[in-house]
Structure 1
Amino acid sequence: MTAPSPRPRSARQSDVARIAGVSQSAVSRVISGDAARIPAETRRRIHDAIAELGYVPNPVARNLRGARTRLLGVHTFEPLFPNAREGFYVEFLLGIEQRAEETGHDLVLFSSTGDGAGGRRIYRDETNRLRIADGSVLLGVSPDRAELARLWHEGYPFIHIGRRDVPGAPIPCVIPDYSGAAAGIVERLHGLGHRRLAYLRDSIDVEPYEDRRAGYADAVTRLGVVDRSPGFVSGTAGVPDEVVSALADGTCTAAVAESERVAAELRARLTDRGVRIPEDVSVAVLEDTSAADVGWDDLRIPRQEIGRIAVERLIDMVSDPAAPRESTYVACEAMPGETVAGVREDRR
């Protein structure tokens, strides 16, 4: 019986260096993109040798040696496929992809680090699996803030899209300015004559909603607007009966809802009472409702821009590990729609 032929050995950097007639360090610098001081003719010989041998760099091995791979990770704490949260994350991903391509980086999507209970984790078997990439963009709501603290203390370069407060670890974030947008919506209502508002909370209690509430509260106080609704005073979630009644009888002339879901419930209940939006009362929503059937007055998050900024900040961290890792705020826009109008004369 004839013994099987041995498998051919994969080409190595040393082989490329031998054929090109250069040092292995020169080959490594060309492959890593750090070839500014290497003559053009030398770079050409190296590329010719790479093509002749079919050499493919091993990014994992390069990472273990401390070299940059020019791979950027995207880790998601929530499922992206087929269309998580009605495609909320898609625009972020488009911005991330665009800027990565423009800067000569490839992307690695980390989406299989499940914990067996529906959550997604960064560490498995005490190993940070993101280290295959030079740094990573994190998306979604982490089920374990201690993981984020550990990642920060290890010094691994990462940036989180959305504000996250992690005790003992001021992690860098790219933060949509929900507070400023919420204040802008209150200012618009005030400019149309509304002085008695109601605030409708969703049941979600994470930092982006805290920012909405803070912006709304600051604007209400600053402008002297009256709001005694349960959502504003006691933090009650949903659409309380007293708010529906106050809007129906003119005690309040406008409502600000944290989410399209809550706004839709309010609309249905007002319709049952014969109250029209915006003819009788105005309603604005503190999230992007562009996919909704109703043309709500709302706020818009520049998601592609945020994705691009996240990549730029991440590359800065990778390029200079000693640079400050600070958060960046990005303005959101208060968008006029079809659900806000001036106050009816008999309700002023």
Structure 2
Amino acid sequence: MTRVTIQQVAKAAGVSPSTVSNLLNGRTERMVPATRDRITRAIADLGYRPNRAARQLRTGRAQTVGLIVPSVGNPFWGSFARELEVAALEVGCSVLLCNSERNPERERRYVEELWDDGVRGIVLCSSLPSLDHLADVVSRGLRLVTFDRPAQPGDPDSVVSVSIDNHVGGFLAAEHLTSQGHERLTFVSGSLASVNRTGRFRGFCTALEAAGLDPSAMPMWTGIEDTPFGDVEAADVGRQAAHALFSGDEEPPTGVVAINDMTALGFCRGLRDLGLRVGRDVSVVGFDDIILADLYDPPLTTVRQPIARMAALALDEVLAEEAREAGRSVLLRPELAVRESTAPPALAVGSTTPTAAAAATSASLTPSQNGGAR
């Protein structure tokens, strides 16, 4: 189908193409109502749709914003995408969503495609330590805002970041458990090879040290080889961790901090497989405060991110008409939402071990439930 041009709209409305452009870009202060009506009718009759890429290149303003997340398989990223889109629509922008699963090559390909389509501003959420795979596009003028990743040494000067303080978040989660009397804690995650995850784990360790505990003496779970980050398989990673930690010979933890809520909820499911009670036999803390956290039984204690505010800030940065100062980072403080998945350690939990039937349940999990490749 042949695309309708602005010249055709101008001819149908009996005006110049520049007058049509003025209406499309909101410059209607001196335009009489009759002219506006003619142009509007011509646009509707012809089915004209502005070429956003050309319009953006011509005006230098971002009409479409790119958003690259690890995976909307984690509801946190779906919620963030929605909040960013709400903020974008309020200022007349649209959002193009991509899932990278933290793969640098996949990210580079998405960024190149968005650039070729005229997108000049992107919010990147993978939190990988290096941006070298995107340096070339950034040097061409791409406005890149990293989310949940403070500025790192070696980042291009123009890159801006919007993030919570993940170190504080990890500290709050672990401190909550130590303040309740827990002395055997575990950190459960996929790979820690991202800036945000490393920050959360360091905060966890800092809280343990502040409580007089040795982090190196605590068991730790960092995922499985087939799914290093576990963004899609987060619940399976948590469930497998529960089976591994409570089905072995080692003394199990009484408290667990998970890298995110989906991993925490998977861990809770694993505990139930083994006949253990969340919030009574074992306390579990998540991270993000997704909607499922409050709906779970028992409701999940978690570290809350101010997601709507962060999305609005990220959009402000990506749409800024002038470049910000080099290495600018916007760092917000998270807060702890205490619910029923945590409590002081039960007196008998030190001797609690899964029953033979529970161990059999563990052995009978499907490959997907065990976090294997899907």
TM-score (norm 1): 0.69
Residue 85 of structure 1 and its aligned partner are, at CA, apart by 1.2
Q: Which residue in 1 is equivalent to 2:336?
A: 334
Q: Which residue in 1 is equivalent to 2:238?
A: none
Residue 95 of structure 1 and its aligned partner are, at CA, apart by 0.7
Residue 296 of structure 1 and its aligned partner are, at CA, apart by 3.0
Partner amino acid for 1:342? P
Q: Which residue in 1 is equivalent to 2:79?
A: 91
Distance 2:174 2:8 in 1: 62
Residue 304 of structure 1 and its aligned partner are, at CA, apart by 3.5
- Higher Rg: 1
Q: Which residue in 2 is equivalent to 1:155?
A: 141
* 1:309 counterpart = 2:313: yes
Report SS of the residue matched to 1:133.
coil
Q: Which residue of the other structure, out of 23, 34, 47, is the alignment partner of 2:36?
A: 47
* 1:246 counterpart = 2:251: yes
Q: Which residue of the other structure, out of 179, 185, 190, is the alignment partner of 2:167?
A: 179
Distance 2:301 2:99 in 1: 38
Partner amino acid for 2:313? I
Contact 2:302–2:337 (8 Å) recurs in 1: yes
Q: State the 4+ residue runs in structure 1 displaced beyond 6 angstroms.
A: 124-127, 141-144, 241-244, 345-348
Contact 1:99–1:311 (8 Å) recurs in 2: yes
Report SS of the residue matched to 2:198.
helix
Q: Which residue of the other structure, out of 36, 52, 59, is the alignment partner of 1:59?
A: 52
The alpha-carbon distance between structure 1 residues 90 and 257, as it changes in their structure 2 partners (threshold 3 A), is closer
The C-alpha deviation readout for 1:123-166, integer Å capped at 9, x for no partner, is 48976635523423334467994332223222212323321757
The sequence identity of aligned pairs, in percent, is 19
Contact 1:77–1:119 (8 Å) recurs in 2: no
The alpha-carbon distance between structure 1 residues 287 and 136, as it changes in their structure 2 partners (threshold 3 A), is closer
Distance 2:107 2:179 in 1: 46
Distance 1:9 1:144 in 2: 43
The C-alpha deviation readout for 1:51-104, integer Å capped at 9, x for no partner, is 25436543333334x31455122243556xxxx415332211211121112122
Superposition CA RMSD, Å? 4.5
Structure 2: unaligned runs, 5 residues or longer: 224-240, 351-374
Q: Which residue in 1 is equivalent to 2:285?
A: 284
Contact 1:59–1:69 (8 Å) recurs in 2: no
Distance 2:199 2:83 in 1: 23
Distance 2:155 2:165 in 1: 23
Distance 1:73 1:344 in 2: 50
The C-alpha deviation readout for 1:300-322, integer Å capped at 9, x for no partner, is 33333332322122222xx2246
Residue 182 of structure 1 and its aligned partner are, at CA, apart by 1.7
Distance 2:66 2:179 in 1: 42
Residue 290 of structure 1 and its aligned partner are, at CA, apart by 4.8
Structure 1: unaligned runs, 5 residues or longer: 1-6
Residue 210 of structure 1 and its aligned partner are, at CA, apart by 0.5
Contact 2:147–2:161 (8 Å) recurs in 1: yes
Partner amino acid for 1:67? T
Report SS of the residue matched to 2:205.
helix
Distance 2:39 2:108 in 1: 35
Instruction: Give 1:183-262 correspondences, 5 Å limit.
Output: 183-194=171-182, 196-205=183-192, 206-231=194-219, 238=241, 239-240=244-245, 245-247=250-252, 253-259=254-260, 261=263
Report SS of the residue matched to 1:89.
helix
How many residues end up aligned between the 2 structures? 318
Partner amino acid for 1:71? Q
Q: Which moved more, 1:281-290 or 1:182-191?
A: 281-290
Partner amino acid for 1:188? H
The alpha-carbon distance between structure 1 residues 230 and 130, as it changes in their structure 2 partners (threshold 3 A), is farther
Distance 1:142 1:31 in 2: 39
The alpha-carbon distance between structure 1 residues 126 and 269, as it changes in their structure 2 partners (threshold 3 A), is closer
Contact 1:244–1:269 (8 Å) recurs in 2: no
Report SS of the residue matched to 1:85.
coil
Partner amino acid for 1:184? L
TM-score (norm 2): 0.65
Contact 2:65–2:95 (8 Å) recurs in 1: yes
Contact 1:244–1:270 (8 Å) recurs in 2: no
Q: Which residue in 2 is equivalent to 1:4?
A: none
* 1:298 counterpart = 2:298: no
Distance 1:299 1:113 in 2: 24
Partner amino acid for 1:337? R
Residue 212 of structure 1 and its aligned partner are, at CA, apart by 0.6
Instruction: Give 1:117-132 correspondences, 5 Å limit.
Output: 120-123=106-109, 129=115, 132=118
Report SS of the residue matched to 1:338.
coil
